[in-house]
């Protein structure tokens, strides 16, 4: 397995063995910090679209390994505004830094960026396309709280049609023989091409409209936000909005090991009453983004 | 003209030397002519649109006099009309007949239907991975990773 100089653009480019290796490294970094391994290395933090969590966790990950960070958090400050191509921008930044973490609103931007420079690109989200570090931190978190990845029952809930987070997670879970429950309003169910892929991989899944149908069966309840703008009919949104809310009372008969996850930010789809239950795990999940990003930085820079 | 119309087979005038592109997916002949600049010379080009076909329902057909398509051009025909048959005519006879084979990777020509794909937002070539399933062809964009059935491709670029 050689990660040195590799671009991390999408989760599907990583084999099961590679994923497990990244998770192992992330775990060791969580247990034992390595504050010096990236000394004298510089990360370009190129955020062509605003993001707080992803950007800050990439940047702190680099700093915690002893590296330095340069970059921008808002494309308004770059020459992209003057019409410079992404290709030129990344080519030049690649001459200054050792690794680039980027987010861009346009789909395929990370792949394009990887063609512009020899330095490794870590994709922190390219529009609705890929966001592999999110999937890796999700897998890390599942493994951490369940002590295993194989054979778990996992509910993916909310906007399954447009949410790239749940698409990538479902695809990645196909490596680990999960039983999947897709809980969403009809109009926001998992796209057919993902279901076909899962069928081809012999992954069992079932379709549900209500949280109550699955909450007592699963090991992981992965909630995502349903956004009003996805609905042509505002009445439909009003109806659905209140059905897809998780509160503490609904967890009374859940399995003791059930953990609730969410990519955050949450608005009101998980009430704060859940925070105090032993099932809440979304803040730990967000923290884990740090270790997974540290692992990737160390790996692609050849230091881990 | 009226005489040739009566003859079902040689719908338009016979050519001595040249290329007949037959079994073109209906509505694609004009795109092919534009894309390959087939009319960019003073030789005769005849086009049949929406001709009845036993196997395809309707088909288009192009006859180009005095020009044998290059391999590169044949690839491009295949991208637009994967069922096309190429007939090379020499001295009024069909000297060669073959199917245009769609390449496994298409690195130009096709415009990604996804408006928020990087290929539509930056001056660059597109790239598609061709997935051939039984009798349908799907193209997966190398950049935005969306997959489109061949029929959903609306635009082609001459590059
Ligand atoms: N000399 C020619 N000038 C112009 N067109 C020609 C000439 N010879 C053949 N063609 C055309 O080329 C195409 C293929 O001719 P062919 O005689 O092989 O017909 P076919 O048996 O229907 O072939 P296929 O099995 O490919 O449909 C037909 O459209 C025919 O009209
Ligand atoms: Mg025929
Ligand atoms: Zn595309």
B126-158 residue pLDDT tens: 999 999 887 789 999 999 999 999 888 888 887
Q: Do B143 and A112 touch (CB under 8 A)?
A: yes
In chain B, residues with a C-beta closer than 8 Å to the C-beta of A106 are 116-118, 121
How far does the centroid of ligand 3 lie from the alpha carbon of residue B119, in Å? 6
Confidence of residue B9 (pLDDT cuts 50, 70, 90): low
Kindly list the domain boundaries of chain A, sorted by start residue.
11-130+289-300, 132-286
Identify the DSSP state of B141: E
Q: Do A108 and B144 touch (CB under 8 A)?
A: yes
What is the percentage of chain B residues whose pLDDT exceeds 90?
59
| CB-closest option in B123, B143, B146 to A85 | B123
CB-based contact B156:B30 (threshold 8 Å): no
Q: Domain A11-130+289-300 carries which CATH code? A: 3.40.50.1370
Min Cα separation A231/chain B (Å): 20
Using the structure block, give the residue that is written with the tokens 């290796």.
A21
| CB-closest option in B114, B123, B147 to A107 | B114
- CA–CA distance, A21 with A296 (Å, rounded to integer): 10
Neighbours of ion ligand 3 (CB under 5 A): B 112, 114, 117, 141, 143-144
- CA–CA distance, A273 with A249 (Å, rounded to integer): 9
Tokens of A298: 């160390």
| pLDDT exceeds cutoff 80 at B10 | no
In chain A, residues with a C-beta closer than 8 Å to the C-beta of B119 are 108
- CA–CA distance, B116 with B119 (Å, rounded to integer): 8
Confidence of residue A62 (pLDDT cuts 50, 70, 90): very high
Q: What is the pLDDT of residue B13?
A: 75
Is the fold of A11-130+289-300 the same as that of A132-286? Answer: yes
| CA-wise closest residue to A151 among A84, A92, A216, A218 | A218
In three-state secondary structure terms, A79 is helix
* A-B C-beta contacts closer than 8 Å: 45
Q: What is the CA radius of gyration of chain B?
A: 17
| CA-wise closest residue to B116 among A181, A109, A266, A243 | A109
| CA-wise closest residue to A95 among A48, A42, A37, A56 | A42
How many angstroms separate the Cα of A128 from the Cα of each of A104, A132, A215, A289, B27?
A: 10, 12, 28, 19, 33
**The complex's ipTM?**
0.91
| CATH architecture assignment, domain B3-99 | 2-Layer Sandwich (3.30)
Supply angle C-alpha A239, A240, A243, rounded to 5.
105
How many angstroms separate the Cα of B146 from the Cα of each of A108, B123, B132, B141?
A: 10, 19, 16, 6
Confidence of residue B2 (pLDDT cuts 50, 70, 90): very low
Residue count of chain B: 159
In chain A, residues with a C-beta closer than 8 Å to the C-beta of B145 are 10, 107-108, 129-130
- CA–CA distance, A75 with A67 (Å, rounded to integer): 23
Residue A134 assigned ligand-binding role: yes
| pLDDT exceeds cutoff 60 at B5 | no
Residues with CB under 6 A from ligand 1: B 9-10, 14-15, 20, 22, 61, 63, 85, 87, 89, 92, 94
> Which residue's alpha carbon is at the smallest distance from atom 12 of ligand 1?
B20
CATH 2.30.30.20 in chain B: give the residue spans. 105-152
| pLDDT exceeds cutoff 50 at A162 | yes
A239-283 residue pLDDT tens: 888 889 999 999 999 999 999 999 999 999 999 999 999 999 999
| CB-closest option in A10, A85, A86 to B145 | A10
Tokens of A189: 């169910």
Q: What is the pLDDT of residue B41?
A: 80
* Nearest ligand (C-alpha, residue B93): 1
Residue B117 assigned ligand-binding role: yes
Per-residue pLDDT, averaged over B1-14, amounts to 54
Q: What is the pLDDT of residue A81?
A: 66
Order of strands, sheet of B57-65, starting from the edge strand that comes earlier in the sequence: B45-53, B57-65, B18-25, B85-90, B93-99
| CA-wise closest residue to A19 among A249, A292, A267 | A292
DSSP B23-85: EEETT-HHHHHHHTTTTSSSS-EEEEEEEEETTTEEEEEEEEET-PPPHHHHHHHHHH-TT-E
How many angstroms separate the Cα of A140 from the Cα of each of A87, A189, A204, A261, A282?
A: 32, 25, 22, 12, 12
Residue count of chain A: 304
Q: Do A107 and B117 touch (CB under 8 A)?
A: yes
Give the CATH number of domain B105-152; options: 1.10.10.10, 2.30.30.20, 3.20.20.70, 1.20.20.10. 2.30.30.20
Using the structure block, give the residue that is written with the tokens 């016979």.
B14
Q: What is the pLDDT of residue B4?
A: 43
| CB-closest option in B143, B146, B147 to A111 | B143
Q: At what angle do helices A86-96 and A109-116 cross, to 10 degrees?
A: 50
* Nearest ligand (C-alpha, residue B97): 1
Tokens of A294: 């540290």
How far does the centroid of ligand 2 lie from the alpha carbon of residue B61, in Å? 10
- CA–CA distance, A252 with A113 (Å, rounded to integer): 48
Domain A132-286, classified CATH 3.40.50.300, yes or no: no
Confidence of residue B3 (pLDDT cuts 50, 70, 90): very low
Q: Which helix (H) or strand (E) holds A299?
A: helix A282-300
Mutate to test the interface with B, among A107, A110, A200 (most CBs of B within 10 A): A107
How far does the centroid of ligand 2 lie from the alpha carbon of residue B132, in Å? 24
Tokens of A188: 């926001």
Residue B121 assigned ligand-binding role: no
Supply angle C-alpha A138, A143, A148, rounded to 5.
145
Provide the annotated active-site residues of A: 53-54, 82, 103, 131
Counting from 1 in the atom list of ligand 1, the atom nearest the Cα of B9 is 31
A111-141 residue pLDDT tens: 999 999 999 999 999 999 999 999 999 999 9
Q: What is the pLDDT of residue A242?
A: 84
Residue of chain B whose Cα is closest to the Cα of A193 = B147
- CA–CA distance, B157 with B159 (Å, rounded to integer): 6
CATH 3.30.70.140 in chain B: give the residue spans. 3-99
Contacts 24+ apart (CB under 8 A), A20-24: A22/A136, A22/A292, A22/A295, A22/A296, A22/A299, A23/A136, A23/A139, A23/A140, A23/A143, A23/A292, A23/A295
| pLDDT exceeds cutoff 50 at A208 | yes
Residue of chain B whose Cα is closest to the Cα of A86 = B122
| pLDDT exceeds cutoff 50 at A2 | yes
Residue of chain B whose Cα is closest to the Cα of A111 = B143
What is the percentage of chain A residues whose pLDDT exceeds 90?
88
How many angstroms separate the Cα of A34 from the Cα of each of A22, A64, B37?
A: 15, 7, 61
Per-residue pLDDT, averaged over A152-181, amounts to 96
In chain A, residues with a C-beta closer than 8 Å to the C-beta of B117 are 106-108
B23-68 residue pLDDT tens: 999 989 999 998 888 888 888 899 999 999 999 999 999 999 999 9
In chain B, residues with a C-beta closer than 8 Å to the C-beta of A127 are 116, 144
| pLDDT exceeds cutoff 80 at A76 | no
Which residues have a Cβ under 8 Å from the Cβ of B74 and sit 6 or more positions away?
Answer: B86, B100
Residue A31 assigned ligand-binding role: no
Terminal alpha carbon distance of chain B: 36
A26-51 residue pLDDT tens: 999 999 999 999 999 999 999 999 88
CB-based contact A158:A185 (threshold 8 Å): no
Q: What is the pLDDT of residue A231?
A: 85
Q: What is the pLDDT of residue B39?
A: 83
């Amino acid at each position: 397995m050689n990660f040195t100089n590799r671009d991390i653009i999408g989760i599907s480019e990583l084999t099961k063995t590679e994923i497990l290796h990244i998770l192992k490294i992330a775990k060791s970094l969580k247990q034992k910090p390595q504050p010096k391994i990236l000394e004298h290395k510089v990360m370009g933090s190129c955020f062509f679209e605003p993001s707080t969590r992803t950007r800050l966790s990439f940047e702190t990950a680099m700093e915690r390994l002893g590296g330095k960070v340069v970059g921008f958090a808002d494309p308004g400050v770059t020459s992209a505004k003057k019409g410079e191509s992404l290709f030129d921008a990344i080519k030049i930044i690649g001459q200054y830094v050792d690794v680039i973490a980027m987010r861009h609103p346009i789909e395929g931007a990370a792949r394009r960026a990887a063609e512009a420079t020899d330095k490794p690109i870590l994709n922190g989200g390219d529009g609705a396309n890929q966001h592999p570090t999110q999937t890796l931190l999700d897998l890390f978190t599942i493994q951490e709280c369940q002590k295993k990845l194989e054979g778990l029952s996992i509910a993916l809930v909310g906007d399954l049609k447009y949410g790239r987070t749940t698409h990538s997670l479902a695809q990645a879970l196909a490596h680990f023989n999960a039983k999947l429950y897709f809980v969403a309003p009809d109009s926001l169910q998992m796209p057919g091409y993902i279901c076909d892929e899962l069928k081809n991989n012999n992954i069992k899944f079932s379709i549900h409209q209500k949280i109550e149908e699955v909450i007592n069966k699963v090991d992981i309840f992965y909630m995502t936000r349903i956004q009003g703008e996805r609905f042509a009919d505002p009445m439909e949104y009003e109806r659905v909005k209140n059905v897809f809310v998780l509160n503490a009372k609904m967890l009374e008969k859940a399995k003791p090991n059930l953990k609730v996850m969410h990519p955050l930010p949450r608005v009101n789809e998980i009430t704060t009453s859940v925070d105090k239950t032993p099932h809440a795990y979304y803040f730990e999940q967000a923290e884990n983004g740090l270790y997974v990003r540290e692992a990737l930085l160390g790996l692609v820079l050849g230091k881990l | 003209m009226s005489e040739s119309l009566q003859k079902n087979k040689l719908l338009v005038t016979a050519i001595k030397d040249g290329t007949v592109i037959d079994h073109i997916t209906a509505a694609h002949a004009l795109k092919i002519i534009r894309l390959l600049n087939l009319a960019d010379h003073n030789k005769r080009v005849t086009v049949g649109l929406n001709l009845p076909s036993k196997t395809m329902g309707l088909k288009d057909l192009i006859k180009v006099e005095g020009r044998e398509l290059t391999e590169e051009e044949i690839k491009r025909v295949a991208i637009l009309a994967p069922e096309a048959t190429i007939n090379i005519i020499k001295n009024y006879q069909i000297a060669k007949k073959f199917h245009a084979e769609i390449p496994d990777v298409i690195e130009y020509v096709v415009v990604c239907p996804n408006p928020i794909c990087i290929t539509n937002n930056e001056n660059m070539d597109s790239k598609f991975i061709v997935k051939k399933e039984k009798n349908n062809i799907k193209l997966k964009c190398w950049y935005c990773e969306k997959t489109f059935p061949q029929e959903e491709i609306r635009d082609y670029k001459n590059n």
